[in-house]
Structure 1
Amino acid sequence: MDEPWLDELAEFLRREGYALYEDQRSPGGAVIRFRGHSCEIHITNDRGDWWIGLSPLGSDLIMTPQVWAHYIDGTKPVPATQAEPLDVQITFVKERLKEAELAAARDPDIDRKLIAINRGLLGFDF
């Protein structure tokens, strides 16, 4: 891929059983997606800004690692003024992916719960 961290993350995901199923790049951005057993990982670039999202397999809902961490930990979100840095997002994927997979596989209502957490991070009622 083009970024050393991206090559490393892609290799990590492959070792975890994830398969690359989309890799679209243009001068202004990129969309790179990996599919696993119960989650999909979305790596996106928009004019030089990279971010990572996770979604339950089969869902159109893509949420940041920050939202997933609140869900897994059962903590109430505090409104955030900005997204977490990319290195924090990468660390979540490497260290907590198994927890996210388990949550996605076990909770049939996970989409609704992730949306509620995201609303809390955006400053709406939780």
Structure 2
Amino acid sequence: RTEEAAPQKIKKTQEAMTLSLVKNPDILATISLAHPELFVVGFAAETQDVEHYARGKLVTKNLDLIACNDVSRADIGFASDDNAMQVFFSERYEHDSITLEKASKDDIAKQLASIIGEAIWQRHNA
């Protein structure tokens, strides 16, 4: 977000303008650390070192699992009807990761919902 909020519309008085940005609070990490009893799923869109960054977020945000896709791929994601994901689990689950191969976004959503349901069941029956 911007460091300072403008009290009114910023007029185009110059050819170039600079905004100072500050980091927003990490709502997901705040909630998961404050309420460890909750089952928390994160989502990550990465362009490089997908597994490395996803696993890092899994730990630092105290997530049960994180679903990640590589948004640098032109054949999936934002401008496509298809997607593919890698799902990484925290150490308390039997799976380390599951790959959801390229499929329609509807199919990916159904697969992901099934994985989340299975993980919730596993957590509460462990």
TM-score of the aligned structures, taking structure 1 as reference length = 0.34
TM-score of the aligned structures, taking structure 2 as reference length = 0.34
Larger Rg: 2
